[in-house]
Amino acid sequence: MRRRVEIARALIANPEILFLDEPFGALDFDTRMQMREEILNVHAMFPTTILFITHDIDEALQLGDHVIVLSERPSRILEDLHLSHPHPRDVTKDELARLRHRIHFLMGLHSAL
């Protein structure tokens, strides 16, 4: 509930950009999934730009319209993706699954898949 209040408090100021840095990092899985839906609902009601920083690849693909994958330090852009898939998104199917696999590969996680 605290995360919802923090987001609501930020939206009251009617910002041009809402900056969310790992906002769901400390949440359990179920709450994290609910908050993903909440962010999509909030964005539909308040169409402001949201800059969402996350280490969760699925979260980025499910929520983002523009996903930038960075390398390790010193950071550089590895991939710059523009997503036009409608919400809700299933990252295990079709083109999103291929993008997910590509991001894992770029991050050196290909052996885990």
User: Could you tell me the pTM of the whole model?
Assistant: 0.84
Return d(Cα 12, Cα 82) in angstroms, integer: 29
pLDDT tens for the chain, 113 residues: list them: 677 788 888 888 888 998 999 988 888 999 899 989 988 988 888 888 999 999 999 999 999 999 999 998 999 999 999 999 998 899 999 999 999 999 999 888 865 54
